[in-house]
Structure 1
Amino acid sequence: MVFKSKAQYKSDSLLNVLATSKKDTNKVNVLNNLAFFYFNSDIPKTKKYNAQALSLAKELNFLNGEALATNNLGIIIQKDGNYDSCIILQLKAFELYNKAGNKKGMAKSYSDIGLAYWRKAEFPKALDFQLKSLRIYEQLKDQKGLSYCYNMMGIIYRNLKKDDEAIDYYLKAIEIRKKINDERGLAASYQNIGNIYKSRLLEDTAMMYYSNSVALHKKINNKSAESMVISSMGDLKYEFKKYAEAKKYYLLALEINKNAIDSNNLATMYINIGNVNCRLKDFKNGEADINKGLNILQNLGDKEGVMSAYEMLAFSYQDQKNYEKALESYHEYILIRDSIMSNKEKEQVAELQTQYEVEKKDLQLGKNKAELEAKEKQNFIKNIIIVSIVLLLVLLFIIASVFYRKKQIEQKAAVQEELARQKDIRSRSVIEAEEKERIRIAKDLHDGVGQLLSAAKLNLSSLESKLDIQDKEQQLIFKNAMGLVDDSVKEVRSVSHNMMPNTLLKLGLASAVKEFITKIQGMPNLRVNLEIVGMDHRMEQEKETVLYRVIQEVVANIIKHAKASELTLQLIRHEKELSIVIEDNGVGFDTSKLNSFNGIGLKNIISRIEFVNGSVHFDSTVGKGTNVIIEIPI
């Protein structure tokens, strides 16, 4: 719906009147009329004259003039999608009209607020304000106001998928508009009826109504509305898969109004052109145009438009067999569609309509009761048939959607499974390589360096027996050398054993951990507690090796960094999992910085536990020690 005002003058006449007007209420009216005149052709001028009208009306305390300028400012900013600000301004205009006792102005503000809510796709609120406006127009017997409300209510019911109710209200609007020769209103109603015939795939009938609408819009020079109707003609050709003809109408619509098009219509043009390009297999340009329109509509908060854009993107991706993106777009479409028309909103709409019908019946006192009952019965049967058909279609659609989604999920699961398998293979290869390298180094230390040191010790012992060293200082030096060689032999054996303990290979994890803890229990200032439960049976050697390395790494970190005086290690085997708990009373650390640590120790622990499909949790507070909890499925 576009700007409404009483004045319908030519711009030159209005400007002449403005030039000779005094600073009074008449000048406010002329400024408001000029703002209306330029609304569809020159928005900057509209804003200019509207601002002047609002300023002068406030200065003169002219309530009706201020209310009209305030209401019209809401309509101006609504053109760019600022619906919430528009509603605030029009509620203020309603209060000004109410204060001035102008019921017609109050009705118009209500109706314009309903229009803003309709553009926001909040249909229950939109219908509520249209009903409020309708009641006032009925009291005033204002035919033009009634025709507007009837037409707008038809649009709302059309959005609610109630075409029969929509047609009833459109016909009421047309009947009045013909009587009062409202060409602008007739053009809009013709377009609305054409939309219904388009949805029913009656091409010739719909084109007839659209053509009538275009002719009237041309007559009154309403380029914006003319562009919209021509775009609808393109939609109709699209429905019949006449894509080349549809593209012609869309481009013509954009060309007609390219200098004055508002954001909402511009978005619609882009989406329509993009969609038809996709149907013509020009996917690159098609998707680019649809996304242009989608970005505009998202900024405007136009849920209906955003929903349609996602639906078109879904079809485009489906045609390209890009099922993952198609599914994503379709999911967004479903979410927005459901939010627009929830069950709660349906109940609100039904309640509002019932309230209005009750009030009408009270006023008419049972007039034409028999005819009303017959019509209601006929509508009831018709609605049952329509609802049954719709439910059947919805059921078929749901079945198709479920089947399609199942296929997509299966494909995605197969991809994820393969990625997981490849990751497992890579991790297994890295760990196996590490263990092989450990075994090699351990053997080299034991068989190479260890044997050399042992041979050196034997040679020194032999040398000692042959030499008769009398000097005590030389005896001490020789004895220290023998001690160093002996310590080196022990250290090499210890390192070799830690890298690949025989106990782990022969007796399993529990025995190896016991041996490992026994070695560190003699450390000064550290008390070590070990508890092993249910470890009577061995696990896979691969898991045992990984867990032994992890325990070694955690305990080493505690000894090196925690400054702990007590360490507790628990290995508890359950029916389906193995739990490892390592606790210390050391300095602790900030777990929120866990990902920022530069060391590879914690990363190795996490990666090794992930390799055996386990989980590791670090629970620590600065100054209060650390708990490391590891859980492994068995």
Structure 2
Amino acid sequence: MSLRVLLFFVFSLSGGAALLAQNAELDSLEKVLPQQTGNDKISTLNAISWHYRQANTIKAMGLAKSALTLSEEANYLEGKALSLQSVGAAYEATSNFDSALLFFNKSLAIKQALGDTTDIAASLNNIAMVHDQLGKDEMALTNYFQALRMYEAVNDLFSQAMVLGNIGIVYKKQKDYTKVLTYYERALEIYQSEQSVFGSSVVQGNIASILIILGNYNQAIEAAKKSLQGYESLGYSRLMAYPLGNLAIAYDSLKELSVARDYYMQALTLHKENNNTAEVSFTLKNLAGNELAAGEYSKALAHATEAYQLASSTKANDVLMQALVIITKCEQRLGNYQKAFTYQQQYIGLRDKAFEEEKTKATLELEAKYETEKKDRELELQRLSLVEKDLEIQKSRVAQVALGGALVFLIILGLLVRARIKLNYQRKLDEEKLAKQEELLRAVISSVEGERKRFSEDLHDSFGQLISVLKMNVDSLSAAPLSASADRQRMFDQSVSVLNDMYGELKNVCFNLMPKALIQHGLPVGVNELVARINHTGKLRAESHFFDLDSRLADIQEISLYRIVQEWTNNILKYSDARNIFIQITRDEAEITLTIEDDGMGFDEKILKMGQGNGWKNLQSRTNLMKGTIDLDTAPGRKGTMLTVNVPAILKGHQSKTDADKVETLLTYALF
């Protein structure tokens, strides 16, 4: 089934109210022009030329050339660039694309000299659009992507969306629909973030059209309805007809004929109200196809005949031929075989004519391409000739020797200044690096002292109480008479229980100091033991996964990565409302990647990094120790946080041991 796509990413004002606003602006400009002089007059001439570029190209060209003359007389470069662009736009409106390119490129050269990024990007977009109309897709895409990068550099979001849409149009011609959707969706994301209802509606409509081509009819219906809702909220009845037509085509393709017919009728009504003859004939043809499929041959014949007549008046050959196919089938179903044969012959004639025209067009395009390449070679030869002449002139200038000497002196002076600046810059870097190292060292020392205090308190509080209880039990056991065997047994059982508690506490302290499983069996076993302890608390569920960690890592890496896991999971247990933790460690040929994810609420990472505590500094010092990087992905109000650490992979026995490494290793063993 044929499909009409609404594409206008170079957004202009639409609707009756907008047209009145444009006319009012034009009237105002024409009234003020006679009283103006200088640069103001140049700007107004160009603005009026822009208004007339479609309706009256001769007048638009005259105004643009007048502005260009005044700009050249006043040596007003900004005005000259704008005037050259206006002349190019007038040529483009008359399909004189070679001349349009010539003036657009002249305008671009001036803008590049002035250095205005936004103006340069606008010229690149204009040049790309001309190449697109000439069928030079590669040149069009090259210029579009240059314009896009420039708009991204200045964070011009609406212009980015416009260029993304234009890129999608080029890929649509090439039938690369996956790329088309990619660029349309990027444009849609911008319009939605900027709350542009009009932009979002246009892009949703275009996405619906591509989804229909791909056969994703349900998704197309969803996108078309969003487009329709947007136009309805803006009151753009003329544009509402396009998503209505897409909805009709999608439902038609799903064989929901009655639903499709309702949408065809709504679209047809709006197109007629807005005197959009081309779209009326297109919609009538689709409606006739729907009625033909439903077996309503008389209605289908009437609508197809009306579509045929309108398409003949507008010379829309594609609609004309499709209408003839439907008419032929209807006449055949109604038993009018002579008429069916006549219409079929007419269709065959139009089809053959279209084929010949397409073949002629392709031949002319090849000839034009050959002539263009020939001209390019001639221009290159001319350029080389001019370069040779310039070299000859330069050889005759003896004064350049003195200039060269002065230039060498300036270069040497510049190098000396640059060397001094570089030394000062390096000195500042060294000072900042030293300050950072001192800060990390203070964090390490503070952490070590804190952990010593904690272990001391654990031993004093836990073991002190248990030992006191054990002493009391032993004293009671000694004092009990031999005849009181039941009391002595009870005291003995209590003492055994206390000893078991002491053993458990001792295991916990030893585990916190340095897990035995980590030292003996490596990182996966150590982390799994930690995960088991977390799950044993019942506060949340933890999972761990390891990939390509069959070989032992260097001691410093195993300990540092384990401490990072331990530190971060403790933070999650203390401060997060998470219910699940997922730990994954992966090794490839050159790198180890640790990720820790939880489903708790996110937070402001600046508060963590700027805080007075040593937790984040400890994580950084451990990562720096392994010459790695650390990244945190979180945001306030968003559920889920992920910590990622990437370090170079070093297997056990392969690490170097400089004095600095030995000191850092000792600090790592001491840290918890």
Larger Rg: 1 or 2?
A: 1
TM-score (normalised: structure 1)? 0.41
